[in-house]
Amino acid sequence: MKTEKYNDESILFYDAVHKKIVISDSVIKELIFTKEFQRLKHIKQLGTFFLLLNSSCHTRFSHSIGTYYLINKLLSKKRFQHLNIQAQKEVEVAGLLHDLGHGPFSHIFERIAKNFVHENYSVKILKNKKGEIYPILKKYKLNIERIANLILKKTVNDWGQFLISHQFDFDRLDYLMRDRYFLGLENIPINIDALFDNIIIERDRLLFHEKALLDLENFLLFRFYVYKNCFWNDDNVFFDNLFIAIFQRLKDLQQQKHIFAFSLDYFFELIQNKMISLTTFLELNDYNLFTFLKLIQQKGCDVILLKLVNTFLNPKYHWPFCKTKNEIDKQIKYLGQQGWDQKYFVYSKKLKLIIYQIFPDDEIWILNKNNQRKKLSEVSLFFDQKHQRHKEIKFALRLV
């Protein structure tokens, strides 16, 4: 995403997905150039998936600006001019800042850090009085508690919640459009204009006119396709579990009083299994995590740790895992001969494959031609609770 000055009052972002994004709003411009927001340039959107598809290197930075852009594009339409300007601004800011709390490799970091939820850290960052974001929010007299609650999904009867976190929200909308582009799936259409033209905002909810039902179903089916073939892809699940195993081994070695031949640096709290302080967290990104893994590769002396890190950093041209029972049993036998704990090398993962989740407060609502409000699960042939299944994957790292 290239940035340049558009005129005396605006900045221009050249975006791969939305093309030209012109931002003239003072509060948004100031927030974008804070050090906390700029950090997102160094956090990849899809975590370890870039190891499988080298084009999937887009960042939380471009996604966050894209989320803001979509919210602003919708709220700028004439039919929403009745909405309170301050309330609109707070929703736009929540969209921009919702991912501040992501750690290295995005969601997978939540599985290795103690009591870590990225939304909680997003709120810690924007409420940090010593940081650069809090003074900006105070300067423009924005309701910080409302912005925080929108990110934490705690607002009640607030139309803004449906734009920030919902079955159809603008976070999902941008990341699916962005993933579609960088995963090479642009042949699958998402009709954004049709969706936008048929959104209705009420005091406590967001609805779609039934004219948009087909486009809405298409969007949700595409979401399922991306999850099933990318995020729930066997290769991706393997690399996620391999990454977790690396840090589990580091934590176990630390507990055994192992003397490391390299500095733990910013990862000391993580490996000691302590809550990560905000000061430390703001220094973490994909690049210093990779540097840390390279240090282990160069100076590590634990055989198990080295085997895991080498596989993660330098996978062979054939995928370094096996899935059949005979192959897994063969690896387990070898692990027994070596005296290695199989928890570092044999992984299993249960996946719930579902197109559309039906929760009372998270349904998508449809307004029909008779002005009746219906749940999507009541009017769609695709999206009811019957369309789901479970899948369990078991892997072993290929050692012999």
**Percent of the chain residues past pLDDT 70, beyond the cut:** 94
Cβ-contact 248, 344 below 8 angstroms: yes
**Which range among 110-119, 151-160, 267-276, 356-365 shows the weakest confidence by mean pLDDT?**
356-365
Domain that holds residue 345: 235-351
* C-beta atoms surrounding 133 within 10 Å: 22
Across the range 99-104, mean pLDDT stands at 95
Task: Classify burial at 126, counting beta carbons within 10 Å of its beta carbon; exposed 0-12, middle 13-18, buried 19 or more.
Answer: buried
Any domain includes 137: yes
Any domain includes 378: no
For residue range 246-281, what is the model confidence (pLDDT) as tens digits?
Answer: 999 999 999 999 988 888 888 999 999 999 999 999
Q: Which of 351, 369, 388 is the last residue of a domain?
A: 351
* C-beta atoms surrounding 38 within 10 Å: 12
Q: Give me the CATH number covering residue 103.
A: 1.10.3210.10
pTM: 0.92
The whole-number pLDDT of residue 166 equals 86
Cβ-contact 72, 125 below 8 angstroms: no
Query: How many domains, the chain?
Result: 2
Strand partners, 188: none
169 shares a domain with 44? yes
How far, in Å, CA of 357 to CA of 162, rounded?
15
Q: Which of 160, 187, 214 is the last residue of a domain?
A: 187
Strand partners, 200: 207
Any domain includes 140: yes
243 shares a domain with 332? yes
How far, in Å, CA of 277 to CA of 238, rounded?
29
- Is the pLDDT confidence value at 32 over 60? yes
Q: Is 379 left (phi over 0), alpha (psi -120 to 50) or beta?
A: alpha
51 shares a domain with 147? yes
The whole-number pLDDT of residue 73 equals 94
178 shares a domain with 275? no
Instruction: For CA atoms 166, 45, 229, 225, give the dihedral sign.
Output: positive
11 closest CA partner among 2, 46, 19: 2
For residue range 38-74, what is the model confidence (pLDDT) as tens digits?
Answer: 999 999 998 888 888 778 889 999 999 999 999 999 9
How far, in Å, CA of 348 to CA of 343, rounded?
10
Q: And the tokens for 308?
A: 């895991």
178 shares a domain with 67? yes
Q: Give me the CATH number covering residue 298.
A: 1.20.1250.30
- Is the pLDDT confidence value at 152 over 60? yes
